[in-house]
Amino acid sequence: MKRALLIAGVLGLTATATGKEMIDPFINPILTKEQILIENKNKETLKEIPKEINLFKPKIDILFSKLSIQGVIKKDGKRYLVLLDPETGETFILTEGDPISPNEKIAKITNGSITVFKYRKFKGKLIKEEIKLNVDTEGLNND
C-alpha cells in the first residue's frame, strides 16, 4: 500500500474523493445526453397511445362487429342501414348520426359503403378517425 502511494506521489498523480459521479473520459457526454433524450422521447410516445372515450350511448346493445350488414334501404331520400344479428336473427335499422358504440357513430350511408367516425383522445385533444365499410350491393338497386 505504501509502495502504491509512493509511486503515485512520485508521478504526481493525485486522487481526491468527491460526492460527484465519476465521468468516463472515453464517452462523449453530448452523445450520451442525446441518447437519453431520444430514449425519454420514445418512452413518452409509448405512453401516449390514443385513449378510447365515451361520447355516445349506442342505439343497439350488441357490438357492431358481431352484426352482419344486410343492405341499405332508401325511403323518402333518406338511407337506412339494415343489420342482422346472426345468433338471434334479430334485425336492426340504423340511420346517419346513430351511435353504434360509445365512441363511434354512423356519418354517412351510401348504397355501396358506410362511413363511420371513431373518436379518440390523444394528448388531450379529440381526434376523429374516418372508417369506411363496404356494403355488398349485389341484388340492390343502385341509384
> Which has the higher per-residue pLDDT, 91 or 135?
91
For 29, 68, 91, the CA distances from 62, given in Å and listed in that order, are 57, 11, 11
Q: Is the pLDDT of residue 139 over 60?
A: no
Mean pLDDT highest for which of 4-8, 17-21, 98-102? 98-102
Q: Can you give the residue ranges of every domain in the chain?
A: 64-134
Cell of 56: 355516445
Confidence band for 46, pLDDT divided at 50, 70 and 90: low
Q: Which amino acid is at 63?
A: L
pLDDT computed for residue 142 by the predictor: 47
Please give the share of the chain, as a percent, with pLDDT higher than 70.
72
pLDDT computed for residue 97 by the predictor: 92
Cell of 50: 390514443
State the pTM of this model. 0.58
For 6, 15, 75, 143, the CA distances from 12, given in Å and listed in that order, are 10, 10, 98, 95
Q: Is the pLDDT of residue 135 over 60?
A: yes
- What is the sign of the dihedral through the CA atoms of 101, 105, 109 and 114? negative
Please state which CATH class domain 64-134 belongs to: mainly beta
Cell of 6: 509512493
- Please, which contacts does 115-124 make with residues 24 or more away whose CB atoms are closer than 8 Å? 119/53, 119/55, 120/50, 120/51, 120/52, 120/53, 121/50, 121/51, 121/53, 122/48, 122/50, 122/51, 123/48
Mean pLDDT, to the nearest integer, of 52-80?
A: 88
pLDDT computed for residue 140 by the predictor: 47
pLDDT computed for residue 50 by the predictor: 72
